[in-house]
Structure 1
Amino acid sequence: MERRSMLGAGLAIAAAAGPGAERAAAQGQAPAQASALIEKKVFEGGAFRTRGGATIPNLRLGYQTEGRLNAAGDNAVLICHFFSGNSHAWGQVTANGPRGWWDAIIGPGKAIDTGRYFVVAVDTLVNVNVPDAGTVTTGPATLNPDTGRPWGMSFPVIAMRDFVESQKKLLDSLGVKKLALVAGPSNGGLQSIEWAAAYPDFCARVMPVIAAEIDAWLQGWLNIWAAPIRLDPNWREGDYYGQGREPPLRGLAEAWKIVTLHARDRAWAAQYDHKVPEGQDPARRIGDRFAIEKWLDDTVAARARTSDANSFLYMVRANQLFLNEYPSLAAAMAGAPRRWLMLPATTDRIFALEAVRDFAEVLRKAGKQVEMAELAGPLGHLNGVAGMAPHADRIRHFLAS
């Protein structure tokens, strides 16, 4: 679990490896103090019917919780994870392991106080981290009980709403009657918005971070993210799980490369300006690389080995199917909960600040109470993971009001 958490936690929607040290430094965290370990649990949900009408016979999702559910069942907080993440949102799962990706704001006495709230985080369906034993998910790499082989691309299409419905099934099993807050960054923010549309009476407050609408422009970007996988001859139309077959690691690495740079900002990349690795001379040899190229190549090669290409494609499609059951964003938000706190990143290259402001305006026209706090920092989209600590008091006040 330690390796996966360090690789994924520093990346918001789908960036590649980001060491835990970078995250801690960006958040201004002190060294981890001894505390109770977080237990990774597994939800056995049985048969699950997708919004597309297919049935998955054996739903299994990993999750973690902390805190105690009150008698009314209404002090629960659901934390949804980003594209490349999993449910390790706070705390430690092993004694010497890294802390979760939102540890700066979740835990005893923190903004989302596990002494007051029952906090839940869940591994999504089609989670890209399925090669990691610390991630439990159901998706194309799962064995199909009818064939005894991985589903591959015969796995049912999964929409963002299916993430919500599978999480609702878990929350019902835990006795949760209402969410005091549903929140998450990037893909997690999209899930929060989808929750608001699907179950407005179940959610008291919504906090989407670095997230807005998936419009046609972003659907096109998602297609670009996925394209290198399909071009890799080892992909074999998704049939690469068999013995002796190589996974499409080259295509998957190139996919991670696109989103890694997309999720960061020019200010972060400035550290590589005019730099060339030792022994390289791109002005003389076409095969030599600049420093930024070497960093990207090394980073995404490691990331590809800890993720699954088919799951990446299914996660892309789930994002493209955001709010797909509604004729418009306005229609989806018409009956949504009243209380919203939105945290965009000023230098986000994925969910641009103007897109978040447009979304907030849709909410206000629908009569919602919308607060907004902008995330600053050099990391672009990744500020929604690494830059949360300065907004702890704002989040604490939002939960208390």
Structure 2
Amino acid sequence: MLYKSIALACLLLSAAPQGETLVTKKQFHADTFTTFGGSIINDVKIGYESYGKLNKQKDNAILITHYFSANSHAAGKYASDDPQAGYWDAIIGPGKAIDTDHYFVISVDSLVNLNANDPNTITTGPASINPDTGKPYGLSFPVVTIRDFVNIQKAVLESLGIKQLYGVVGASMGSMQAIDWAAAYPDWVPRMISVVGSGETDDWSSSLLEQWAIPIRLDPNWRQGDYYASSPPLEGLTAALMFITQAALSPEFFNQVASTSDIDHQSSQQAILQDIHQSPAIVCWLRERAQQRARLMDANHLLYLVRANQLFVAGHQGELAKGLQNVKAKSLFLPASNDLLLMPYLAKRAHQTLLALGKQSELIELEGNLGHLNGVSLISQQGDKIKQFLAQ
């Protein structure tokens, strides 16, 4: 049914056929980590997953950088009876576009990962215990940037003896990490793929991101981030996730949801006519899914992710052209034509900037009715192009 495929998309999971690869979460530990802003974080723990085998030369590694609400579970399953495989299982695996018969594929949980309460996520952030106080950091945790996500990934790779990547591929917030990798460490990155991505966060995008933070800050349970010994701000977090989900989809998609028999639109209209406390059926549908996801997430972590995205410009040198001038990677941009979150002009701007700097870059638009989520659930439509690009 249409409703079932829609529900999977709204959970930000791939609706593609699931693979049989079984994976385990591994943990990386650093005694200290210095942020891009100059702060020191002690006792950093980060999770990661890998697929395929690292060759003797250790030069076949492809890094997958994940999107805002994801973690490192990019492919495979933790157990054979898991209902869902990783979000890009359609293109990662034996014989697939990112072929694990040839490549060692690795993905790393971000710092301040949104899924802080998920047992399959390992991350250090505001919800973590500050070893200096024995209490959760809360808002005393330092502000982090996309570059910090890149640098913790680099530390994980170096711990495995990897000194250069074969390529880096990421969607959405992951695309920001991918292009920043190419800008910050050009000798590491010969190939970069940006899916539904951006080279910088402009004023429009920064304001959109702020909408996700506002309901959390207005929730009385937020308590200026000091809620770990009391009730968390789940109402604010749920509202934020509703905004995120709607922005990640398209009007066409929402109208299709509302037209299915699973949503009793007519009864809903009667209910909201009679009672101001009632909500339209589509809003209830959206809220229910946000509530389900909120249980595994942390509100403060969302605020820190918002700020990291608001601060982003590839290369972190203030200007996009300046930040991209040292890029050596061949680049492939795959924006979604109807993306309302990271609109196609953002990828086109980065692509055109690279071309103006004399770099190699291609751009192909993804199609489909999922908007931003075309880059997750419908990524297989460009599987052949991704495979071809990586083979070059």
TM-score range, shorter chain: over 0.9
Matched, 1:109 2:95: yes
Question: Once superposed, what is the RMSD of the aligned Cα atoms?
Answer: 1.8
Show the 5 A alignment for 1:2-401: 17-18=11-12, 23-24=14-15, 27=16, 29=17, 32=18, 35-97=20-82, 98-212=84-198, 213-242=200-229, 245-273=230-258, 276=265, 278=267, 280-323=270-313, 325-401=316-392
Task: After superposition, give the CA deviation of every residue in 1:88-128 in whole Å (9 maximum; x if it has no partner).
Answer: 00011112112110001001111111111111000000001
Range with bigger deviation, 285-294 or 274-283: 274-283
Q: CA deviation at 1:147?
A: 0.8
Match of 1:3 in 2: none
TM-score (norm 1): 0.91
Task: Name the aligned partner's letter for residue 207 of structure 1.
Answer: I
**Separation in structure 2 between the aligned mates of residue 134 and residue 351 of structure 1, nearest angstrom:** 27
Residues 75 and 116 of structure 1 are in contact (CA less than 8 Å); yes or no, is this contact kept in structure 2?
yes
Distance 1:10 1:45, change over 3 A: farther
- Give the paired residue count: 379
**Separation in structure 1 between the aligned mates of residue 227 and residue 101 of structure 2, nearest angstrom:** 46
**Separation in structure 2 between the aligned mates of residue 268 and residue 118 of structure 1, nearest angstrom:** 35
Task: After superposition, give the CA deviation of every residue in 1:190-223 in whole Å (9 maximum; x if it has no partner).
Answer: 1101111110110010101001121111111111
**Separation in structure 2 between the aligned mates of residue 223 and residue 36 of structure 1, nearest angstrom:** 38
Residues 169 and 175 of structure 2 are in contact (CA less than 8 Å); yes or no, is this contact kept in structure 1?
yes
Task: After superposition, give the CA deviation of every residue in 1:310-356 in whole Å (9 maximum; x if it has no partner).
Answer: 00001111111213731200001111124011100011001112222
Task: Name the aligned partner's letter for residue 132 of structure 1.
Answer: D
**Separation in structure 1 between the aligned mates of residue 254 and residue 39 of structure 2, nearest angstrom:** 44
Distance 1:303 1:400, change over 3 A: same
Task: After superposition, give the CA deviation of every residue in 1:276-318 in whole Å (9 maximum; x if it has no partner).
Answer: 2646522232222222111111111112212000000011111
Task: Name the aligned partner's letter for residue 89 of structure 2.
Answer: D
Structure 1: tracts of 5 or more residues without a match: 1-5
Residues 189 and 329 of structure 2 are in contact (CA less than 8 Å); yes or no, is this contact kept in structure 1?
no
**Separation in structure 1 between the aligned mates of residue 169 and residue 302 of structure 2, nearest angstrom:** 22
Q: CA deviation at 1:373?
A: 1.8
Q: CA deviation at 1:273?
A: 4.6
Task: After superposition, give the CA deviation of every residue in 1:156-209 in whole Å (9 maximum; x if it has no partner).
Answer: 111110001111000001111211110111000011011111101100101010
Secondary structure class of the residue paired with 1:271: helix
Task: After superposition, give the CA deviation of every residue in 1:227-260 in whole Å (9 maximum; x if it has no partner).
Answer: 1000011000000001xx1100001111111111
Structure 2: tracts of 5 or more residues without a match: none
**Separation in structure 2 between the aligned mates of residue 184 and residue 277 of structure 1, nearest angstrom:** 41
Distance 1:144 1:348, change over 3 A: same
